[in-house]
């Protein structure tokens, strides 16, 4: 029994299929995201295990890890971010081109985790806007994959005009991102 994924809503005829531009582009983007692994600590090792052959991330289109922000779509922040690293993270995020998404992997990236101290940033959403939070300390590879699948749903259903909308501009202004 082969399970076929659903096509987006559209109008179909012999030899053609008409649907919205958003849907096609969303489908293409969702299945070929290029991640930037910003791996800091223990969650980075679980991320490496997710990339490995047992929990293969390549099946979701993430075969090629981009370490250059200019060529990346998703910023995967895995691990604790200290206050010293905050400006670096912001600079990496600024260098990414639209459309860009952020996944915060692990408790430390989501909210500071067990490190409620003077030197740790209590969650990366203090410096950059985050789309998906994956809790866990560290999250199992299955949980990281769950986060990525949720991101794929987000990407598939994103409207084409979102990045130009006033709400998005307000979000960027609240983080002082130009």
Partner 1 sequence: MTNQEVLDHIRTKFADSILEFDEPYGMLTLIINRDALLPLVEFIKSDELLQCTFMTDLCGMHHPEQKGRELGMVYMFHGWVKNIRIRIKCFMAMEDPHIDSLCNIFKAANWMERETYDFYGIKFKGHPDLRRILNMDEMDYHPMLKQYKLEDGTRTDKDDRFFGRDGNSNVEFDQRYIK
Partner 2 sequence: MSTNPIEIDTLEGEFSTLNLGPTHPATHGIFQNILTMNGERIYHSEQTVGYIHRAFEKIAEHRPFNQITPLTDRLNYCSSPINNLGWHMTVEKLIGCTVPKRVDYMRVIIMELARIADHLVCNTVIAVDTGALTGFTYMFQEREKIYELYEEVCGARLTTNIGRIGGFERDFTPVFHQKLKKFLAEFPKKFQEFCDLTERNRVFMDRVINACPFDAERSMNYGFTGPNLRAAGVDYDVRVMNPYSSYQDFDFIIPIGTSGDTYDRFMVRQQEIWESIKIINQAYNNLPEGNYHADVPEFYLPPKDDVYNNMEALIYHFKIVMGETDVPKGEVYHSVEGGNGEVGYYLVSDGGRKPFRLHFRRPCFIYYQAYPEMIKGCLLSDAVVTLSSLNVIAGELDA
* 8-state DSSP, 135: -
Listed ranges 6-14, 111-119, 125-133, 153-161: which one lies at the site for partner 2 (CB under 8 A): 111-119
- Tell me what percent of the chain is helix, strand and coil, each rounded to the nearest 5: 40, 15, 45
Q: Quick check: 77 and 172 in contact, CB under 8 A?
A: no
Strands (E), the chain: 11-13, 16-18, 35-39, 74-78, 101-105, 132-134
Of 54, 161, 164, 174, which lies in the binding site for partner 2, with binding defined by CB under 8 A? 54
User: Smallest distance from the beta carbon of 54 to partner 2, in angstroms?
Assistant: 5
Binding of partner 2 by 137 (CB under 8 A): yes
User: Smallest distance from the beta carbon of 77 to partner 1, in angstroms?
Assistant: 17
User: Smallest distance from the beta carbon of 145 to partner 2, in angstroms?
Assistant: 15
Helical (H) or strand (E) element with 7: none
Binding of partner 2 by 138 (CB under 8 A): yes
| Contacted entry of partner 2, partner 1, none for residue 122, CB cut-off 5 to 8 Å set by kind | partner 1
**Angle subtended by helix axes 42-51 and 141-156, to nearest 10:** 70
Q: Footprint of partner 2 on this chain (CB under 8 A)? A: 38, 40-42, 45-46, 48-49, 52-54, 65, 67, 79-80, 82, 84-85, 88, 92, 114-115, 117-120, 137-138, 140
């Amino acid at each position: 029994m082969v399970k076929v994924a659903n096509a987006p809503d559209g109008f179909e005829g012999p030899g053609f299929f008409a649907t919205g531009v958003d849907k096609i582009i969303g489908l293409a983007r969702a299945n070929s995201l290029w991640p930037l692994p910003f791996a800091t600590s223990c969650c980075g090792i679980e991320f490496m295990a997710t990339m490995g052959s047992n929990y293969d991330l390549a099946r979701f289109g993430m075969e090629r890890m981009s370490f250059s922000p200019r060529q990346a779509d998703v910023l995967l922040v895995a691990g604790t971010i200290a206050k010293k690293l905050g400006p670096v993270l912001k600079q990496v995020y600024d260098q990414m081109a639209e459309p860009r998404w952020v996944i915060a992997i692990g408790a430390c990236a989501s909210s500071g985790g067990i490190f409620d101290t003077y030197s740790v940033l209590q969650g990366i959403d203090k410096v950059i806007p985050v789309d998906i939070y994956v809790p866990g300390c560290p999250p199992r590879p299955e949980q990281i994959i769950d986060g990525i699948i949720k991101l794929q749903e987000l990407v598939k259903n994103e409207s084409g005009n979102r990045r130009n909308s006033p709400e998005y501009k307000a979000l960027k202004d609240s983080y002082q991102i130009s």
